[in-house]
Amino acid sequence: MHAPHSQYAIEARNIVKRFDGEAAVDGIDLTIRKGSIFGILGPNGAGKTTTLRMLLGIIDPDEGERFLLGSPEPISMAHQVGYLPEERGLYQSMKAFDAIAFMGALRGLPLAEGRKRGRAMMEDHGLGDAADKQIRQLSKGMAQTVQLLGTLVHDPDLIILDEPFSGLDALNQGKLERLIRAQADKGVTIIFSTHVIAHAERLCEEIAIIADGKISFKGKVSTARDRLRPQVHLETRNLDGPWRTAIPAECKPLGHNWHFTLPESGVEPLLHALVEGGAGIESLSIERPGLHDAFVQIAGDAAARKMEADAGNNNGDETA
C-alpha cells in the first residue's frame, strides 16, 4: 500500500514492456527521490522513452508495477506532473500563449489563468512578441520553447523531460539547463532522458544508465565515476630506475610520458616511490574519470559508441 505522500516521485518494480514479443524494457527497478534531478542515460532504442511512457501511464507495463507520486494510476496525478515528450507537437493554428494555456488546462489549470501565465512566461523568456503568433509562424526553437513553457505553466511537482536538449542549439541548451536548475531550486523533481552524457554530468544528482532495456547502473554520478580508478599522467626525466616498480608493469612510456591507472595503494605510496626511486618528476596529474568513461565501463564500449553516434546525428539535425 502506498501513501500518497511517498518520499519517492517514482517507484517502479520489475516493469517489463514487450513489442511484438521483443522486450523493449526488461525488468526495470527504479526509485527516484522527490526534489532531485534524475537523468536516464542510454543510446537510442535502449528503452528510455518506453520507460518514461510507462511511468507516466501513457502505456501500461506488461509486467511489474509503477507508482507515480505514490499512485499506481499515474493519470490520476497528471495535475501535478509536467511532461515534454521526445516527439514535440503542438496545434499549428493555435496562438503561442493559447497553446501554453491549453497544455495547462489539460492538467487542471483554469484557461484564463493559463493565458495570463502563458503571456508572462513568454515575456520572461524573451518571446513576448511571439505570444500572439500562431505556432506555424514560429521557428522550431521558439515552438520548442513554447512547448516547454506549456509543460511548466501549471507549476507541477514533477517534470519529466524526454530528450529535452534534442534539436536545441548551444545557446538554448544553456537556457534549458538554467531553467531546469531553477525548477529544481523550487523543490520540483526533474527527470530527464538524454543520450548526451555532458548534460547529465552537469545537472544530475543521480542517474540510471539503460542499455538493451535493462538498468546497468543506478545511483549518484560520483558513484558511477568511483567505479573507475583515477588516471595518472606522469612525465619523468629518467626512463628507468627503482621507481619503475611503482608503475604497473604493462605501462609503456610514450617518450617520457606515462599514462596508467592509479594503483590500489593510492597516491601517497606512489609519490613516495617516484621521489625516493629517482624518477625525476617533470609533471604529474591525477584525473578523476568522467561520466563518459564510467558509461563506457558500465554500459560497454558498443553502447557508448552508439550514444556518441546518436549525439552526432542529433547535432546534425540541429544544424540542418
Q: How far is the CB of 114 from other proteins (least distance, A)?
A: 10
* Residue 57 φ/ψ, nearest 5 degrees: 90, 10
Sole residue written with cell 532504442: 45
* Residue 162 φ/ψ, nearest 5 degrees: -95, 115
With contact defined as beta carbons under 8 Å apart, do 151 and 179 qualify? no
Write each residue from 6 to 45 as x if it is in contact with other proteins (CB under 8 A), else as -, in one continuous string. -----------xxx--------------------------
Sole binder of other proteins in the list 4, 14, 60, 301 (CB under 8 A): 60
**Torsion region of 60: left, alpha or beta (phi above 0 gives left; psi -120 to 50 gives alpha):** beta
State the amino acid at position 1 in one-letter form.
Answer: M
Q: How far is the CB of 15 from other proteins (least distance, A)?
A: 11
Sole residue written with cell 505522500: 5
Report the residue number, 136 or 272, with the smaller CB distance to other proteins: 136
Report the residue number, 90 or 179, with the smaller CB distance to other proteins: 90
Report the residue number, 91 or 222, with the smaller CB distance to other proteins: 91
Distance separating alpha carbons of residues 115 and 219, to the nearest angstrom: 40
Write each residue from 70 to 109 as x if it is in contact with other proteins (CB under 8 A), else as -, in one continuous string. -----xx-x--x-x-x-xxxxxxxx-------xx-xxxx-
State the cell numbers at 300.
560497454
61 binds other proteins (CB under 8 A): yes
Q: How far is the CB of 261 from other proteins (least distance, A)?
A: 45
Report the residue number, 80 or 314, with the smaller CB distance to other proteins: 80
Per DSSP, which regions of the chain are E strands?
8-19, 22-33, 37-41, 63-68, 81-84, 158-162, 189-194, 206-211, 214-220, 231-236, 257-261, 281-287
Q: How far is the CB of 80 from other proteins (least distance, A)?
A: 11
Residue 114 pairs in a beta bridge with none
58 binds other proteins (CB under 8 A): yes
Q: Which residues here bind other proteins, judged by CB under 8 A?
A: 17-19, 53, 56-63, 75-76, 78, 81, 83, 85, 87-94, 102-103, 105-108, 111
